[in-house]
Structure 1
Amino acid sequence: MADITRIYLIEDDRTILHFVEETLRQRPQWKLVGHSETFAHAQVMAPLSLADVFLVDLGLPDGRGEDMLRALSVSKPDAELLVFTVFGDESRLIAALQMGATGYVLKGCSGQELIDAVEQIREGGAPISPLLARMLLKQFRAGGQGAALGGGAAGNGWPELSDRETDVLKLVAQGYVNKEIAQRLGIGPATVSTHIKNLYKKLAVHTRVAVVKVAQERGLI
């Protein structure tokens, strides 16, 4: 992960702003480069920032956080979108993932848990609060993979993977993290992260576990 991580917070609750500011003191190399309290302000200012990670609340006073995620996924395709919200229901989680979120953390977590989520997301992971992860896993085991994770059983018409994407996929399946994959393939961690994001899109999933399972079902690994 890069030494400097730039974070932009989209949140109307000043208590959460102070919590994030206090948390960032534990990581001096991380910088809060912007803050928006409304959808309207974020719509203008967030795309202009150089943030690596956007922390997005879903309950904005003048708009839906899901719509903000969709806009940022288009205007800032290289940034990570981490939902930070009180909404712990499955429908909001799935909608956020479908709109481009690469992580989902519930408010009330500790500062260290938020730090861990940012670190994971910067390394190509998809952090999800344990309660929600268990919810998805339960659906996954019950055969609800398509609804919960965006996967599909049908293999017809799916995009083909490049040779490099296949190489990355095989190493992900073996449990290697992004830095280790980068070392083994002789490429940068950021490039590995890009390949993993492309795998998520092509296989229509949102987690490393799901990308491996769908790839196995399709005979890709």
Structure 2
Amino acid sequence: MKISIAMVEDDERVRRSMARAIEASGRMQLVYQTDQAGQALLWMHDYMSQPPHVWLVDLGLPDGNGLDVIKAASHHCPDSQIMVVSMFGDEAKVLDSIAAGATGYLLKGQGDEDLIEHIDDMLDGGSPISPMIARQLLLRMKASRSFVRATDGATGQSPPPLTEREQMVLQLIARGYSYDEVATEAALSPNTVRHHIKNIYSKLSVHSKNEAIFEATRRGWIRMD
């Protein structure tokens, strides 16, 4: 069964680009698209036969706020994953989107291949965030030391170290390799790479590749060459 995707995006160029990427993946299917928040809410309430696996939602819509769509999708489609794709990258909008139910946040302008990889990452349990936004959030967490407390725990115990293979996978990811490129370089299947990534997230108590890279680097487990 293909991964079903609903898209709420008012920029026609962006909408067409994402639709092409979804179709080209061969594993995903665009089951609904609109440029209006109201139409998305109407479809969700009255016409949706079954919830999509993924929602791609813009925030700035001509008839309303994408946050309303995110809140409704989070309520009516609790098993769906919600990805914001927006030109707005300020911290307030990111945090509001996460509070509303989004599990990923991408800035517009990323490549089509990146979009598909980020959707896969989100469905595998990650929370993909554009690097610029992730850096803002990480700097804020680093300043308050809440990130260190969250990963070390109240007892001060460190998480279990990464295995040699997990370190290799994360090192390649840190160098900008895609999952498929990591699989080729490490002679692994893409599914095995995703399995390693999920284990890394669990060990480091993080939810995205950027957080994993930050924390593993801080601990000296990988190098940023």
Q: TM-score range by the shorter chain?
A: 0.5 to 0.7
CA distance in 2 between counterparts of 1:142 and 1:65 reads 30
Structure-2 separation of matches of 1:30 and 1:18: 15
Matching of residues 177-196 of structure 1 within 5 Å: none
Taking a change above 3 Å as real, the CA distance of residues 13 and 46 of structure 1, as seen in their structure-2 partners, is farther
In the alignment, is residue 105 of structure 1 matched against residue 76 of structure 2? no
Structure 2 partner of 1:140: 141
CA distance in 2 between counterparts of 1:73 and 1:144 reads 30
Question: For residue 185 of structure 2, what is the aligned residue in structure 1?
Answer: none
**CA–CA separation in structure 1 for the residues paired with 2:43 and 2:23:** 24
Counterpart check, 1:128 vs 2:129: yes
Identity percentage over the alignment? 30
* Residue in structure 2 matched with residue 189 of structure 1 by the alignment: none
1:10 is matched by which residue type in structure 2? V
1:143-181 C-alpha deviation (Å, 9 max, x unpaired): 1749xxxx8xxx9xxxxxxxxxxxxxx89x987xxx77x
For structure 2, the 5+ residue unaligned runs are: 167-190, 216-225
Q: Kindly provide the amino acid, as one letter, of the partner of residue 113 in structure 1.
A: D
Deviations 1:111-136 (CA, angstroms, capped at 9, x unpaired): 01111110101111000001101111
Q: CA RMSD in A?
A: 3.5
Query: What secondary structure sits across from 2:126 in the alignment?
Result: coil
TM-score, normalised by the number of residues in structure 2: 0.65
| Shift in alpha-carbon separation, 1:206–1:80, aligned structure 2, 3 A | farther
Could you say which structure has the larger radius of gyration?
2
| Structure 2 Cα separation of the partners of residues 63 and 130 of structure 1 | 27
Letter of the 1:93 partner, please give it.
V
Question: What's the CA shift for 1:24?
Answer: 1.6
- Alpha-carbon offset, residue 78 of structure 1: 0.2
Alpha-carbon distance in structure 1 between the residues aligned to 2:95 and 2:2: 30
Distance, in Å, in 2 between the alignment partners of 1:96 and 1:57 is 10
Residue type at the aligned position of 2:21: T
**C-alpha separation between the residues in 1 aligned to 2:146 and 2:30?**
36
- Residue 12 of structure 2 is matched in structure 1 by 14
Per-residue CA deviation, residues 78-122 of structure 1 (Å, 9 max, x unaligned), is: 000000111011111111011100000111000011111101011
How far apart in 2 are the matches of 1:77 and 1:136? 26
Report how many residues are paired.
Answer: 173
1:33 aligns with 2:34: no
Structure 1: runs of 5 or more not aligned: 156-169, 184-191, 200-204, 214-221
Q: Distance in 2 between matches of 1:50 and 1:142?
A: 39
Aligned to 2:75: 74
Bigger Cα displacement from structure 2, 41-50 vs 75-84: 41-50
| TM-score normalised by the chain length of structure 1 | 0.66
Which range moved further: 114-123 or 40-49? 40-49
Residue of structure 2 in register with 1:58 after alignment: 59
Q: Is structure 2 residue 80 aligned with structure 1 residue 83?
A: no
SS in 2 for 1:54: strand
Within the alignment, does 1:207 sit opposite 2:181 as a pair?
A: no
Q: Secondary structure at the match of 1:25?
A: helix
Alpha carbons 1:102, 1:206 under 8 Å: kept: no
Q: 2:170 — aligned with what?
A: none
Q: Give the deviation of 1:206 after TM superposition.
A: 8.3
Runs of 4+ with >4 A deviation: none
